[in-house]
Structure 1
Amino acid sequence: MPVNWQKSSFSGAGGENCIEVARTEAHLLLRESDAPTDILALPLLGLACLIRHIKAEDFKAGK
């Protein structure tokens, strides 16, 4: 199944040197446009736990 990569809306008109993201059934995939073969695969459940933890730590720190 092909992966549908999306570029960040903050990339600007040129689109170079940007972060691209894609989703599979079980993972969120991240890569840099200038190194498209280097892919970071994050399990969706693990990513959700990380985001909750970061939010909780920000709340504790009063940010």
Structure 2
Amino acid sequence: MSEPDWQRSSFCAGGGNNCVEIATTREDRIALRESESPTVAISTNRAALRALVLRLKTDQTEVS
């Protein structure tokens, strides 16, 4: 099995080990890991990740 093509956020400061990385797996799932611990990853489906991101954005705009 080949290694996923991990991508870092454009907000990752200087490419250090303080970033969230994301990759699409062979099973068409989304894998997430912290660059500081690259051997530990979680996976989810696209719909669940999208719902999480939308919720985080909503919560962020409500905190003023």
Query: TM-score, structure 1 length as denominator?
Result: 0.64
CA RMSD of aligned residues (A): 2.7
Which runs of no fewer than 5 residues in structure 2 stay unpaired? none
Q: In structure 2, which of residues 39, 45, 48 is the aligned counterpart of residue 37 of structure 1? A: 39
4+ aligned runs moved over 6 Å, structure 1: none
Structure with the largest fraction of strand: 1
| C-alpha distance in 1 between matches for 2:23 and 2:17 | 17
Q: Which is greater in Rg?
A: 1
Which runs of no fewer than 5 residues in structure 1 stay unpaired? none
Identity across aligned pairs (percent)? 37
Query: TM-score, structure 2 length as denominator?
Result: 0.63
